[in-house]
Amino acid sequence: MPAAGDASRACGSTIAAIATPMGQGGVGIVRLSGPASLDIAEKLFVPGPRFKGFKAYKLHYGWIKNTQQQILDEVLLAYMPAPYSYTREDVVEINCHGGPAVLEGVLEALYHQGAEPAAPGEFTKRAFLNNRMDLTQAEAALEMINAPTQEGALLAGDKLQGHLKERVNFLRESLEELKKELCLAVDFPEEDLECLPLDDLANRATAAVQEIDELIRAFEQNRVFREGALVVLAGRVNAGKSSLMNALLGRQRAIVTSIPGTTRDYLEETLNLEGLPVRLVDTAGRRPTRDKIEMMGLETGRQLISRADLCILVLDASLQPAADDLDILEEVSPAKLVLAVNKQDLVRGTPGWVQDLKDKGLQLVHTSATLGQGLEELTTAVRFRILEEKRPEPTSSVAPNLRQKTALEKSRRELLLLAEEARQEVPHDVLGVRLDYACTFLDEITGRIVTEDILNSIFENFCIGK
């Protein structure tokens, strides 16, 4: 198990990659990291006027040529010497014109001079291995890039700044302290040291469990900002589910006809609801059927509803609710339900059955998908329902990801056992081992202890050039 800061993990090679997305853009960046970065860049850089040698953290104007001495591009080059760079190694960044052909040309020229192709996430992996950041910060870099909305990016930013690392390290230090007090009593029994009272130990383990619980809760609370909330449109055939899907998306995504049973499979699209990322799913309309394909579609719809963060039950305002509508009312808890009483343009006033549903305390919105009415109210209701219970509290805005949460749960389990065993007066050295385990799982989070497998599984999800 390598540990961060271990000299054996230092990287000797110099890597290069295109750091910006492939496609046309104003600027594209090719990045180098490693001891030969400046040597390699120097061989290809044709300085512009007034160049007086490479200065750290300054932009140098000039040109990049290839080995055949052809000028490839007009560039700005920055040199960031170790240790004050992203990777803590010597880094050179070349700002080129943002076209795939020119960037590939520059990259190839760097390879010819001895740079090696960077693996996915290798720059960030080096930053971690060289102790510039811990594993939670490295993962936050990826979460930042993948954040579906600005809220998600803010959460990733919190972790990038090291706030989760601080929380975990603080927790670990308190456990270390506990262990020190525990071991003193074991190691020097003859010195008549005061033994840590076991109920004190149990209480402190329980306090650590509470701190972990808060972090685990934050995982759940912030999940929708990381992954997007699953919102499913359901209801009987022809109620206007697909029309509402199109109206919310602002484009004709789903087929709409007056023929009942138009949608047979499900359709999924992503949507940004004022910062809340939503995976909006249109499902097959419900009705009694013996058609095999339709039955399969209805089953898929049921499964989606059971996993959904929210179900929008679309009702036809001009028709009394049928058994198919009422079934959904039974299947979904009111906290996860918004009723869209659609085709409002076909009725005057509020039908009695709608009032009955309102009286039951169900969240209800009047819409007309064809006229585009009630969409804002629907959006507000969806946001309100999803965020009501999930809005992170200021103290728990630092949210672990799934890997981090899993390690927290393992540590929590050890601490619960520790508290239980302490109350049963299990010998101190056994309790010490429990504490060690609890610390080890916390170390997995920050990467103080990490296996090559864990590292690979994290960094393989990065793009090349990050």
Q: Does 237 bind ligand GTP (CB under 6 A)?
A: yes
Distance CA 337, CA 325 (A): 12
> Which one, of 445, 414, 305, 78, lies nearest residue 314 by Cα?
305
When the beta carbons of 62 and 235 are compared against Mg ion, the nearer one is: 235
Q: Does 108 bind ligand GTP (CB under 6 A)?
A: no
Judged by beta carbon distances under 5 to 8 A according to partner kind, the member of Mg ion, ligand GTP, none in contact with residue 21 is none
Q: Do strands 229-234 and 310-316 pair parallel, antiparallel, or not at all (unpaired)?
A: parallel
Q: Which of 34, 62, 152, 240 binds ligand GTP (CB under 6 A)?
A: 240
Q: Does 261 bind ligand GTP (CB under 6 A)?
A: yes
Judged by beta carbon distances under 5 to 8 A according to partner kind, the member of Mg ion, ligand GTP, none in contact with residue 41 is none
Residue 309 C-beta: closest distance to ligand GTP, Å: 21
When the beta carbons of 154 and 267 are compared against ligand GTP, the nearer one is: 267
When the beta carbons of 263 and 342 are compared against Mg ion, the nearer one is: 263
Residues 120-179 that bind ligand GTP (CB under 6 A): none
Residue 367 C-beta: closest distance to ligand GTP, Å: 6
Residue 358, judged by CB atoms within 10 A of its CB (0-12, 13-18, 19+), counts as: middle
Residue 237 C-beta: closest distance to ligand GTP, Å: 4
Distance CA 269, CA 331 (A): 24
When the beta carbons of 110 and 314 are compared against ligand GTP, the nearer one is: 314
Residues 266-295 that bind ligand GTP (CB under 6 A): 285
Q: Does 87 bind ligand GTP (CB under 6 A)?
A: no
Judged by beta carbon distances under 5 to 8 A according to partner kind, the member of ligand GTP, Mg ion, none in contact with residue 346 is ligand GTP
Q: Which of 113, 149, 221, 263 binds Mg ion (CB under 5 A)?
A: 263
Which range binds ligand GTP by CB under 6 A, 14-22, 329-337, 350-358, 367-375? 367-375
Judged by beta carbon distances under 5 to 8 A according to partner kind, the member of ligand GTP, Mg ion, none in contact with residue 152 is none
Size of the site for ligand GTP (CB under 6 A): 22
Q: Which of 85, 95, 342, 446 binds ligand GTP (CB under 6 A)?
A: 342
Shortest-Cβ-distance residue relative to ligand GTP: 285
Judged by beta carbon distances under 5 to 8 A according to partner kind, the member of ligand GTP, Mg ion, none in contact with residue 401 is none
Q: Does 301 bind ligand GTP (CB under 6 A)?
A: no
Q: Which residue has the tokens 């039955």?
A: 295
Residue 368 C-beta: closest distance to ligand GTP, Å: 4
Judged by beta carbon distances under 5 to 8 A according to partner kind, the member of ligand GTP, Mg ion, none in contact with residue 239 is ligand GTP
When the beta carbons of 169 and 242 are compared against Mg ion, the nearer one is: 242
> Which one, of 278, 260, 15, lies nearest residue 129 by Cα?
15
Judged by beta carbon distances under 5 to 8 A according to partner kind, the member of ligand GTP, Mg ion, none in contact with residue 80 is none
Residue 272 C-beta: closest distance to ligand GTP, Å: 22
Q: Which of 130, 149, 242, 344 binds Mg ion (CB under 5 A)?
A: 242
Residues 222-241 that bind Mg ion (CB under 5 A): 241
Residue 163 C-beta: closest distance to Mg ion, Å: 44
When the beta carbons of 121 and 285 are compared against Mg ion, the nearer one is: 285
Residue 234 C-beta: closest distance to ligand GTP, Å: 9
Cα separation values, 266 from 56, 132, 202, 327, 446, Å: 55, 45, 51, 19, 40
Distance CA 136, CA 122 (A): 16
Residue 283 C-beta: closest distance to Mg ion, Å: 8
Distance CA 237, CA 258 (A): 10
HEC secondary structure over the chain: CCCCCCHHHCCCCCEEEECCCCCCEEEEEEEEECCCHHHHHHHHEEECCCCCCCCECCEEEEEEECCCCCEEEEEEEEEECCCCCCCCCCEEEEEEEECHHHHHHHHHHHHHCCCEECCECHHHHHHHHCCCCCHHHHHHHHHHHHCCCHHHHHHHHHHHCCHHHHHHHHHHHHHHHHHHHHHHHHHCHHHCCCCCCHHHHHHHHHHHHHHHHHHHHHHHHHHHHHHCEEEEEECECCCCHHHHHHHHHCCCCCCCCCCCCCCCCCEEEEEEECCEEEEEEECCCECCCCCHHHHHHHHHHHHHHHHCCEEEEEEECCCCCCHHHHHHHHHCCHHHEEEEEECHHHCCCCCHHHHHHHHCCCCEEECECCCCECHHHHHHHHHHHHHHCCCCCHHHCCCCCHHHHHHHHHHHHHHHHHHHHHHCCCCHHHHHHHHHHHHHHHHHHHCCCCCHHHHHHHHCCCCECC
Q: Which of 262, 289, 300, 397 binds Mg ion (CB under 5 A)?
A: 262
When the beta carbons of 135 and 245 are compared against Mg ion, the nearer one is: 245
Q: Which of 258, 333, 395, 424 binds ligand GTP (CB under 6 A)?
A: 258
| Residues binding Mg ion (CB under 5 A) | 241-242, 262-263
| Residues binding ligand GTP (CB under 6 A) | 237-243, 256-258, 260-263, 285, 342-343, 345-346, 368-370
